[in-house]
Structures are given as structure tokens and as C-alpha cells.
Amino acid sequence: MTFPIKIASRLDPIKPSITLAVTAKAAKLKADGIDVISFGAGEPDFDTPAHIKAAAAASLEKGVGKYTDVSGLLALRKAIAAELSAVHNTKIEPDQVLVSAGAKHSLFNLFMALLDSGDEVIIPAPYWVSYPDMVMLAGGRPVIIEGKAEDDFAVTAEQVAAACSGRTRALVLNNPSNPTGAVYTQAQIEALAKVVVEKDLLVISDDIYRQLVYGDGKYVSIAAVSPELAKRTILVDGVSKTYAMTGWRIGYTAGPLPLIKAMAKIQGQSTSNPTHIAQVATLAALTGPQDCVGEMRKAFDERRVEMVKLLRAIPHVSCREPKGAFYAFPDLSHYIGKKTAEGAIMDDDVQLCDWLVEVGKVAVVPGSGFGAPGFVRLSYACSMQNIRDGVGRLASALAKLS
């Protein structure tokens, strides 16, 4: 018998991460011997580059394995400050950097440090699943504005302005975007920068996919628009996606000193420093050879082109060209409301994705988890063979719906 434990009511509005749920379901089916192709995971399929692993291994012989400064090793914060200063064309000091256990942890600390009860954060949809829930966990209120597929999912300055109230603290800008792969243009960034100043907002710039851009996509930093924007921008970044280091759990924040200090206070009373050996590996990633990044980017780009081509060939499926990250975000709304041969109706994208994994043996993530019902997200951070076979399975399954 289970003992009845009352769970804190602050968790009432919080949903578990849908991407992790889809990945776990596909993994369970695979463990049961069922051949499922999963496009669920948001992580590179590559191994962490050899020189990064070697640096971590070598450090074990040199006493790594102790507590470090709560904010992260000074050498690492210096390397991060130098890199972010160059990318964002502004001077960032090592004291303005907090290293955490992944960018997810950085964002959590950030919302906890920033938001009073009822403070609002503007989140463009489609959004990364965790933003609204993190804002709510911190007592804040997510205010969702919707980017349209025909505008490549970009939100406009007018939408941001209209969403502002007396309680608005910040705009989240995830560029390139998970789940859409959209990359904001220079003109779009400048328009958003203008409204940020007019409405006296902060920008939370989640740049975790900044180095994964393709074709004519180009990462534009909102912090680099002007010194005024640099002051207002909180940079969230990390090594998970760029260096295939998801499991090492290192992310970082750079921003105004009082905010970074407040976040460090939270970290000091919760997790303390991120893992020592992972910090050493991150230092090697940031300061070592960068060809590995180019090689992985090239492979992602080839897979992106193939996946988009195959998706667009499925009847009634449209797919914008993703220019960054490693996701395609096709519109499957034509198939909502359709019936299986057995007569089951696909009421929504969640049901459709459940059926696709059970019957079609292909796992994709329902768009409603990202605030975009009718769409689904597929990660192309997997082999070309998986892309061909998996999108083939998707096409065959959808063809069974009428």
C-alpha cells in the first residue's frame, strides 16, 4: 500500500517534459524487442569528441573530483567570458558568468532569481517545452505569443508590444529555435530589440543551438545590436548540442552581475558547483580544436536536407525549411480527425503520435507540447538510414488514415 503523501500545490500546473516522455516510450518499446525508429531525442547521436574525453580522463590523475567554486572554475568562466564577449560584441567579465548543470539548470536558476509571484515572461510559440513550466515553477506567468508557420514562426515586435503589461519582465528568444529550427534575421532581431527598449524588458537569449545553423541561416545576436541591448540581455548557452555533450550537463549564463550573483546564491543553496570533471571537459571543448563542430554541423546539414525532402514528399504534409538546430517541424494537421482502418479517430496530435509509435513504429513529438497543435517535431540528429526508414514509416502510416 502506498502512503498518501500530499504533493506541494506549486506543482499542480506543471507537466512532465513531453520530449522526454516520447523518448522514454520509444526506448521502452525498443527494450521490449520492438523495432521503433525514434525521432524524439533532442541530442546529437555523435560521441563526445575524443580530445574532450581525453582531457577529462587525464584530469582524473590530477586530483579532479573536488568541490569547485559554486559558480564554476575560474579558468572555465574566463574561457566562457572570452568566447561570449567575442560572439556578442560586448565585454563580459568572468564574474558575470555562472556555470550550471546544463542550460536547463541555468534557465531554472534564472527564472527563480528573476521572477516575483505574478511577474510575466513573454514566450514565443512554438516554444521549447520547458519554458512555460519553469516560469510557473518560479511563480511567474508565461504569456504566449504565436509565430506563424508562414512567417517562419518568427514573432513580430507588434506582437511583443501587445503582450506587454505592467508585470512583464522579459522576452524569451530562442534562436535558432527548438522545435522549429527557425533562425531570426538581422531585420527581425533589430525590430525586436527596439520594442525591448521601448517596453523596458530584459531578453533571455537561449543560444544553445547558436553554432548549428545551415544554408543561408545566420545567427544574429540581439546583445550585439547596441550597448543598450547588451545591458538588457541574459545569455544562456552551453556545450550540450554543439559538442555532443548532453550527458556531461554543463550550461552557462552570462548577464548583469547582480542577477548572476542572485543565481549563484540559489545554486549555492541547491546543487553547488556543476560536476568538476564535466567542467574540465567543457574547458577542453571551448579552448581546443573546433573542427569537430564543423564536421558535426556538416553531417546535420546533409541529414536536414534529406529529411525535409522526404517529409515534403508525403501527401498533405508541409514543412518549412529549418535553418538551425536539428529539428524539422512539419504540419500534419491534415491528418487530425482522420480515421484508422479499425475506426479509431485521431482527435489530436497527441493521439496521432501515440498511434504512430504503436502502429507505425516511428516516434515523433506532438506539436501541442510546444504550443503548436497539429505539428510534430522530428530530430534529424540520427543516421541517414534512420531518416530514410523512419520517414518512410511515417509516410506509410499516414497513408492508412482516411
Contact footprint for ligand PLP (CB under 6 A): 42, 102-104, 128, 174, 178, 206, 208, 238, 240, 246, 251
Of residues 64 and 381, the one with the C-beta less far from ligand PLP: 381
Are the C-beta atoms of 64 and 277 separated by less than 8 Å?
A: yes
| 2 Cβ contact list (under 8 Å, min separation 6) | none
In whole angstroms, the minimum distance from the beta carbon of 78 to ligand PLP comes to: 20
Of residues 327 and 335, the one with the C-beta less far from ligand PLP: 327
Of residues 128 and 214, the one with the C-beta less far from ligand PLP: 128
In whole angstroms, the minimum distance from the beta carbon of 231 to ligand PLP comes to: 23
SS (H, E, C) the chain: CCCCCCCCHHHCCCCCCHHHHHHHHHHHHHHCCCCCEECCCCCCCCCCCHHHHHHHHHHHCCCCCCCCCCCCCHHHHHHHHHHHHHHHCCCCCHHHEEEECCHHHHHHHHHHHHCCCCCEEEEEECCCCHHHHHHHHCCCEEEEEECCHHHCCCCCHHHHHHHCCCCEEEEEEECCCCCCCCCCCHHHHHHHHHHHHHCCCEEEEECCCCCCECCCCCCCCCCCCCHHHHHHEEEEEECCCCCCCHHHCCEEEECCHHHHHHHHHHHHCCCCCCCHHHHHHHHHHHHCCCHHHHHHHHHHHHHHHHHHHHHHCCCCCECCCCCECCEECCECHHHCCCECCCCCECCCHHHHHHHHHHHHCEECEEHHHHCCCCEEEEECCCCHHHHHHHHHHHHHHHHCCC
Of residues 135 and 346, the one with the C-beta less far from ligand PLP: 135
Of residues 38 and 246, the one with the C-beta less far from ligand PLP: 246
In whole angstroms, the minimum distance from the beta carbon of 187 to ligand PLP comes to: 23
In whole angstroms, the minimum distance from the beta carbon of 238 to ligand PLP comes to: 4
CB atoms within 10 A of CB 228: 11
In whole angstroms, the minimum distance from the beta carbon of 271 to ligand PLP comes to: 13
In whole angstroms, the minimum distance from the beta carbon of 182 to ligand PLP comes to: 12
Of residues 184 and 335, the one with the C-beta less far from ligand PLP: 184
Of residues 192 and 381, the one with the C-beta less far from ligand PLP: 381
In whole angstroms, the minimum distance from the beta carbon of 291 to ligand PLP comes to: 22
Cα dihedral 341→343→348→354 (10° resolution): -60
Our CA angle for 213, 151, 103, nearest 5°, is 45
Output the residue with the shortest Cβ distance to ligand PLP: 102
In whole angstroms, the minimum distance from the beta carbon of 208 to ligand PLP comes to: 4
Of residues 155 and 208, the one with the C-beta less far from ligand PLP: 208
Of residues 140 and 360, the one with the C-beta less far from ligand PLP: 140
In whole angstroms, the minimum distance from the beta carbon of 17 to ligand PLP comes to: 9
Of residues 237 and 331, the one with the C-beta less far from ligand PLP: 237
In whole angstroms, the minimum distance from the beta carbon of 131 to ligand PLP comes to: 8
| 128 Cβ contact list (under 8 Å, min separation 6) | 174, 177, 178, 179, 206, 370
